[in-house]
Chain A
């Protein structure tokens, strides 16, 4: 593995960076096609109301309006959603959150489209608003869904984890810690808002350009609600301006709306969200309450945990049933326990709706337990970093779910690296001795995390790829997985080039197009490099094998005698032959130089009824230290520096991997310090970047990060995943530093201002 040319090469650049940095990349909002109409969506101003009357017809009388739609224009009212099928393309009977789409209009101009929306007649009867999970679970609470998925009112779903019996251990434990943490909603705030461009096709089908994460799922849902066969809906993936989990369900609604309008009008239709529309109508990170009970020996050894999670998933289930399962699997953190129980209930409210967001439930659950562990260490009088080293997962341990770690576990290496690089011990002592009256106070804090790889028990974890060598010996590679900025096109290109032994410049990775790429499942769960990457590897190996046979035939030797010198093939007589010559010879031999391949993670079994099983095939680990300064006059907290280490196995694309780390940390910093998507009686309060503050370059400190490259992982060339979990440690590390600086233990985010 020492001769790798591209895998792990620190100078390798993003393959589509030049398109983007030059301004040439065409995002869906940049696209213009002849005859294009502009669509606008009428959205509910109320968090909960019955629709007494909905008459779209007057919109058609508005000059310039070419089409108007409601739920009635879709098959089965446009009902979709997985695993809970409770969503609609446009509202049916009721609206359940502010911003829910009710009708949509396509017109010659934006002004005409807005005039058309104003002409749509909607009468609402306001219903009681449920704005807290406690209200939602009250026995007499009005039910938000028409049909309760659990048969228990607003209870959307539950998950349990049963690993041993923590009850007696917690009763007997010499040290017991119990607290409740409340994590807020978070907005994805991708810089590019949601958008779709639909073009009606002469055969009655439709082509969609949409900034969705998972084009094949979008195609399948659009076909279903439009009543078209799947092969008459084509979804083409343009560049995407950030996603972070947020461009799934909301894009399925949007794409289906644009497609139906285009089919009715017989003209292309573009539908692009404004920022306030995006912040109103898109799903969020779930707000989550963690009630945590920890039991430890007098020396600090952790024995048992019991965690109760209550999740506010808002008005529709979206990705929450899956994210809340991941939260359940991680709610006691990356530590050794004798017994752990977790009970999760996810409930409907009228607080917008929530779904997938980077970390997928572990961001909230992992933060809560890291605050609790820090408090427990303090109660025990132990250094919080050394306390984590005492209890954290190592190879051969079992996780909180009882899963045996028969893989390399880099968590202690991560903790030791950040301890040493941050000069933890010295700073911890120095800041503990700060004079009372100083105008600023500093603190240093730590957090760690573990994170199951891939989809785990959430679903079938596979991907596909195709590769072909073109007539001119350039190479075309496809994957059904999407690059929304995380760099998967670069990873796929480098894997193909490495595996085939060719220059990366030969390889072009097409963006997904459902007509030419094969379904690869959703682009979620930081699975592209591992699952998609392995699919690229096995596909490329098929073609590499054919070329080896051709080269051996050309050089009249056994394939095992071949060596490579750059792109050239060299046989026993040491005369190099070019890649082109080998390709040409392969064609003369009648070999077809194209392949498709599929790779799937071995099936794992989680029993949702008993709360036992193997939730994931492998895990990643990481730890972070944050240094915080609190200004006692302004009360503001500023993060001075962050040190981060993450065990992601072999790093494939170093520049991209570091970028994922830095970006994840910035999102975690925002979660801790300033972001908080607020609802008041179900009405969103933070609908612009003035009201919802995001970290700017002056808020994010210098980050010193590294990857601990443990060996033996299942991904291509030994890679594990990284993009989502890198953000989990940041917010709790900052809060734990804040605790040292101020003496205040927070039980949720964002951190308060502390003056004086």
Chain B
């Protein structure tokens, strides 16, 4: 089948895509976007999470047919035009939220999904927002710190621009 969707702000149109293909395989194997990780086969670890429109979605459980006409954001799409880290990624470094790094792409996207919904999340809300993604290294605390700090900064910027800017 022919698949058309928006990937990291660019229109993508692909031919000869198998209908039963999973989004994770499309991203990793067909498109070479290996920032999205494979961690299990049961949809429980969350390593493969991406944003579909602004919703955090497990790509290992998403047939490619479901994304036709939609917008997909992977970790590669969080970077600026020159490959620079976004504010949330920088916060992960500033707050020590990265150890082995295998869950980091998914965690950043989980944080981004939350911050697109609200810039005033409680720490409990942040924990719930990332609870679909396992991390075996960090104990989560510094990840929560990083997302909380980014919410604070984006709120500050939003106030400064009179609320006209989402991020």
Tell me the A residues contacting B by CB distance below 8 Å.
Answer: 11, 13-14, 16-27, 29-30, 32, 188-193, 239-244, 274-276, 484-487, 655-656, 658-659, 661-667, 688-690, 694, 696-698, 700, 702-703
Question: Can you list, as one digit per residue, whether each of B46-85 has a CB less than 8 Å from chain A (1) or not (0)?
Answer: 0100000000000000000000000000111011000101
Q: Are B38 and A29 in contact (CB under 8 A)?
A: yes
* B4 interface residue (CB < 8 Å to A): no
Bound: A698/B135 CA distance, A: 12
20 contacts between A and B (CB under 8 A): A13-B96, A14-B93, A17-B92, A19-B101, A20-B100, A21-B93, A21-B97, A21-B98, A22-B83, A23-B74, A190-B100, A485-B137, A658-B142, A659-B96, A662-B140, A663-B138, A664-B139, A697-B133, A700-B140, A702-B123
Question: Counting CB contacts under 8 A, is B34 at the interface?
Answer: yes
Q: A17-B98, A700-B140 are in contact. List 9 more A-B contacts (CB 8 A).
A: A20-B102, A22-B35, A23-B33, A27-B34, A662-B138, A664-B139, A696-B140, A697-B143, A702-B141
| Residues of B near any A CB (own CB < 8 A) | 28, 32-42, 44-45, 47, 74-76, 78-79, 83, 85, 89, 92-105, 108, 123, 126-128, 130-144
- Tell whether, in the assembled complex, residue A24 and residue B102 are in contact, meaning their CB atoms are under 8 Å apart: no
On whether the beta carbons of B40 and A688 are closer than 8 Å, the reply is yes
Q: Select A192's contact among B33, B35, B102, beta carbons within 8 Å.
A: B102
Across-interface contacts of B28 in A (CB, < 8 A): 30
Given that A21-B89, A21-B93 are known contacts, is A689 also in contact with B40, CB under 8 Å in the complex? Answer: yes
Contact pick for B93, options A18, A25, A189, A276, CB 8 Å? A18
Chain B residue at smallest Cβ distance from A642: B139
Beta-carbon contact of B127 and A662 below 8 Å: no
CB distance from B137 to the nearest CB of A (A): 5
A666 to B140, CA, bound (A): 8
Q: In the complex, A17→B107 CA distance in Å?
A: 14
What is the CB-to-nearest-CB distance from B146 to chain A, in angstroms, rounded to a whole number? 9
The answer to whether B93 touches A190, judged by C-beta atoms less than 8 angstroms apart, is no
Could you say which residues of chain A place their CB within 8 Å of the CB of B89?
18, 21-22
Q: Is the CB–CB distance between A23 and B76 below 8 Å? A: yes
For B75, list chain A residues within 8 Å (CB): 22-23
Residues of A within 8 A of B132 (CB): 696
> Could you say which residues of chain B place their CB within 8 Å of the CB of A661?
139
Per the bound structure, the CA–CA distance linking A30 and B76 in Å amounts to: 14
Question: Across the interface, do B44 and A191 meet the contact criterion of CB distance under 8 Å?
Answer: no
Q: Which residue of B lies closest to A484 (CB)?
A: B100
Residues of A within 8 A of B94 (CB): 11, 13
CB distance from B136 to the nearest CB of A (A): 5
Q: Give complex CA distance A191, B134 in Å.
A: 8
**Bound Cα distance A452, B78 (Å):** 44
Main secondary structure of the interface of A (DSSP, over half): loop
A255 to chain B, nearest CB (A): 19
| C-alpha gap A32/B34 in the complex (Å) | 10
The CA of A29 and the CA of B100, in the complex, are separated in Å by 14
* Cross-interface CB contact of B100 among A18, A242, A655, A662, cutoff 8 Å: A242
B130 & A697 in contact (Cβ 8 Å cutoff): yes
Q: Which residues of A contact B137 (CB under 8 A)?
A: 191, 242, 485, 659, 663
Q: Determine whether the beta carbon of B44 is less than 8 Å from that of A690.
A: yes
Closest 9 CB pairs of A and B: A23-B35, A20-B101, A485-B100, A662-B139, A655-B96, A241-B102, A23-B75, A30-B34, A666-B139
Asked if A698 and B128 sit within 8 Å, CB to CB, the answer is: yes
**Distance (Å) between the CB of A577 and the closest chain B CB?**
33
Instruction: A703 to B139: give the CA distance in the assembly, Å.
Output: 9
Closest to B94 in A: A13
CB distance from B127 to the nearest CB of A (A): 4
A696 and B131 contact, CB distance less than 8 A: yes
Distance between Cα atoms of A549 and B25 in the complex (Å): 58
Question: Which among A25, A189, A276, A486 is the interface contact of B99 at CB below 8 angstroms?
Answer: A486
Q: How far is the CB of A643 from chain B (nearest CB, A)?
A: 13
Q: A191-B134, A485-B101, A658-B96 known; A697 and B45 CB under 8 Å?
A: no
Q: Which residues of the other chain, B, contact A239 by a CB distance below 8 angstroms?
A: 100-101
Task: Determine the distance from Cα of A441 to Cα of B58 in the docked complex, in whole angstroms.
Answer: 37
Contact at A275–B42, with CB atoms within 8 Å?
Answer: yes
Write out the residue numbers on chain B whose beta carbons fall within 8 Å of the beta carbon of A30.
28, 34
Bound together, the chains give a CA A240 to CA B99 distance in angstroms of 10
A485–B96 Cα distance when bound, in Å, is: 11
Q: Tell me, in angstroms, the Cα distance from A697 to B144 when the chains sit together.
A: 9
Whether B135 lies near A191 (C-beta < 8 A) is yes
Verify B96–A14 contact, CB threshold 8 A: yes
CB distance from A160 to the nearest CB of B (A): 35
Assess A21 versus B134: contact at CB under 8 Å? Given A14-B93, A275-B39: no
Q: How many angstroms from the CA of A696 to the CA of B126 in the assembled complex?
A: 12
What is the CA–CA distance of A27 and B45 in the complex, to the nearest angstrom?
A: 17
Nearest CB of chain B from residue A2's CB, rounded to whole Å: 24
CB-based contact B100/A191 at 8 Å: yes
Q: Which residue of B lies closest to A241 (CB)?
A: B102
Q: Which residues of B contact A242 (CB under 8 A)?
A: 99-100, 102, 136-137
Write the nearest CB–CB distance from B59 to chain A, whole angstroms.
Answer: 13
Question: Which of A17, A27, A192 has the most CB atoms of chain B within a 10 A radius of its CB?
Answer: A17
* Bound complex: CA A484 to CA B102 (Å): 10
CA distance A241 to B137 in the complex (A): 9
Contact A662:B39 (CB < 8 A) given known A191-B47, A191-B103, A244-B136: no
Chain B residues, Cβ within 8 Å of A274:
41
Cβ contact within 8 Å between A241 and B100 = yes
Q: Is the CB of B138 within 8 A of A659?
A: yes
Checking B95, B102, B130 against A27 with a beta-carbon cut-off of 8 angstroms, the contacting residue is B102
B110 to chain A, nearest CB (A): 9
- With both chains docked as a complex, state the minimum distance between the C-beta of A29 and any C-beta of chain B, in angstroms: 7
CB distance from A211 to the nearest CB of B (A): 10
- Within the complex, the shortest CB–CB distance from A516 to chain B, in Å, comes to 23
B92's contact among A19, A21, A25, A244, by CB below 8 Å, is which? Answer: A21
Q: With A and B bound together, what is the CA distance between A282 and B35 in angstroms? A: 25
Residue from B79, B97, B102, B139 in contact with A700 in the complex, judged by beta carbons closer than 8 Å: B139
**A11 to B90 CA separation, bound complex (whole angstroms):** 13
**Nearest B residue to A691 by beta-carbon distance?**
B42
| Cβ B34 vs Cβ A23 within 8 A | yes
B residues in contact with A663, CB < 8 Å = 99, 136-139
In the bound complex, how far is the Cα of B128 from the Cα of A242, in angstroms? 23
Please pick, from A23, A240, A655, the residue contacting B95 in the complex, using a CB distance under 8 A: A655
- Which residues from B are CB-within-8-Å of A486? 99
Residues of B within 8 A of A662 (CB): 138-142
Q: Are B79 and A697 in contact (CB under 8 A)?
A: no
Given A662-B142, A698-B127, decide whether A22 and B44 contact each other with a Cβ distance below 8 A. Answer: no
Q: Nearest Cβ distance between residue A434 and chain B, in whole angstroms?
A: 24
Contacts of B108 in A (CB 8 A): 21
B74, B79, B93, B133: which has the most chain A beta carbons within 10 Å?
Answer: B93
Which residues of chain B have C-beta atoms less than 8 A from A16's C-beta? 101
In the complex the two chains form, is B42's CB within 8 Å of A688's CB?
yes
Contact A17 B101 (CB under 8 A): yes
Q: For the complex, give the distance between the alpha carbons of A658 and B140 in Å.
A: 11
For B146, give the chain A residue with the smallest CB separation. Answer: A21
Which A residues touch B74, using CB under 8 A? 23
Measured between beta carbons, the chain B residues less than 8 angstroms from A188 are 136
In the bound complex, how far is the Cα of B136 from the Cα of A188, in angstroms?
8
Q: How far is the CA of A11 from the CA of B94 in the complex (A)?
A: 7
- Per the bound structure, the CA–CA distance linking A523 and B146 in Å amounts to 29
B44 in contact with A689 (CB, 8 Å): yes
Measured CB to CB, the closest approach of chain B to A293, in angstroms, equals: 35
Expressed in whole angstroms, the minimum distance between the Cβ of B126 and any Cβ of chain A is 8
- For A666, the chain B residues whose CB sits under 8 A away are 136, 138-140
In the complex, the answer to whether A694 meets B140 with C-beta atoms within 8 Å is: no
Do the beta carbons of B96 and A191 come within 8 Å of each other? no
